[in-house]
Amino acid sequence: MFVVNSAEMQEIDRIATEEWGIPEIVLMENAGLKVVEEIKKRFTNLKDKKITLILGKGNNGGDGLVVARHLCNLGADIKIFLFGQKEFKNSSLVNYNIVKRLPIKVHKLEHENNLHLLRLSLYSTDVIVDGLFGTGFKGEISDFLSKIIKIINDTDCLKVAIDIPSGLNADTGRARECIKANLTVTFALPKIGLVVYPGTSFAGDVKVVDIGIPSQLVRALNIDKRILQLDEIKNNIPERDENCHKGNFGHLLVIGGSLGMMGAVHLACLSAFRMGAGLVSAAIPASIQTNLAVSLPEMITYPLKEMVPGILDSEAEEEILASIEGKSVIVIGPGFGNNEEYVSILKHILEKIDIPIVIDADGINLLARDISILDNIKAPVILTPHPGEMARLLDISTQEVQKNRIELAKKLAENYGIWVVLKGNKTVIATPKGEVLINPTGSPSLATAGSGDVLAGMIGAMLGQQSDETRAICSAVYLHGLAGEHVAETVGKISSKAGDIIKAIPIILEEVLMDK
């Protein structure tokens, strides 16, 4: 499903009305009706339900006037509070003139003297409908408006946002102050602000509804942002017939590990097996080779020479390059260590290989020491940073990364011709072609040590089974999120550990493949 920013949605609306000839008032009527439909689903009967609409005087408020009219026809007790000094125009004015003829009380919200009546009305209301601002809102929240928002948020009832919660930036998901909706009914396509954090915490349950904009119109715009959906993930997982063998499903090499960090490699390798990798090998310091081999006997191990336990010798670089022979995918970084001497190992690997390589954890920290290493790559490269690692790569703060996740991931991917998997709430996947894919799955249960190692192994395994890198990455990220949701339901969001995520992989794979 495509996802759009405010400018793209405005262009879609413009083309629909000006070029396709769909009257604005038709789209407004459809929008209002869809909001009413969603409200009706939450009540057995709307007769005598007290519903308060708080509306601005733009098109978002016009949609709200349609909602008010139809709810009134269903027998609901309707009150409207209008915010703003300007007057209704065009289709919104038509709907306002109709509403004035109905038994609907309309009050103004122009100064603080009006707030007492608003509080009284909301005290006994069953539903609040927010139609203050639409997707184009970029302004500042005034002190007066801030008080309105606080009164709304302090009211204990169902809060329904029309298109987007008022105060939320449709492009970034950020908000200084915002109405906290239980339900957002958004039109035609989801907006970025509704599907990324912190916008998700304001939007509640998001319903994307059709208001009559032709799908051909949307497809013609070549929108480069999408939300991943289960159906496409199902089709990305290759079928296995009776004649298959381990060589059909890739040979993954994990390069990493150090004293005290053996577990990172173990988790990456075990998750790769659970994700269907045919063969999994690990190139690790000799001092941890025996313990790692015992912990996962299905794995092939390559012990690397060390200067001292935990620190690789200069000869280890040639041993790593030799271990890459015959492999189909590489994961480098889990538990590897961030020694400056290892930068040259990463550099020489990237100069000489042409198979996909996932750079994770300490591999990203090494890259942050000299990101110009990416200037001369010939292999498909996938970076999997969490926000802190992304900040080190770009030499900015973590807060800056979190404020602009989509654009930063997209820019990094395009600049170096790589894939960027920016982990976090609603993981962002950016491709070399400028496409952005947003993952809707996941849970706080994934916020645990080793979760990233599990994901790196899953991505590596999928790259060995799926020739299309983007499809492989998306599948692993989506399924990793589903595994996290399963863990949240069975173990809990608080008590989870990385091993629980790995145990969930076969379960969610079976569920997904059963519906294929």
User: Which residues are annotated as part of the binding site for K(+)?
Assistant: 60, 130, 166
8 close to 16: Cβ distance less than 8 angstroms: no
Alpha-carbon distance 504 to 270, whole Å? 12
Residues that constitute the known binding site for AMP = 423-427, 452
Q: Could you report how far apart the first and last alpha carbons of the chain are, in Å?
A: 19
Alpha-carbon distance 174 to 402, whole Å? 10
Q: What letter would DSSP give residue 239?
A: P
Residue 309, preceding peptide bond in cis (omega within 30° of 0) = no
294 close to 323: Cβ distance less than 8 angstroms: no
| Residues 6+ away with beta carbon under 8 Å from 222 | none
Q: Which helix (H) or strand (E) holds 204?
A: none
326 close to 281: Cβ distance less than 8 angstroms: no
**Which among 451, 490, 411 is positioned nearest to 264, based on CA atoms?**
451
Residues that constitute the known binding site for (6S)-NADPHX = 59-63, 134-140, 163, 264, 335, 386, 453
Residues that constitute the known binding site = 59-63, 130, 134-140, 163, 166, 264, 335, 386, 423-427, 452-453
Residues facing 383 on adjacent strands? 359, 420
250 close to 328: Cβ distance less than 8 angstroms: yes
**Strand, helix or coil for residue 422:** strand
Number of continuous H segments (helices) and E segments (strands) in the chain: 21, 19
Strands 419-422 and 381-383: parallel
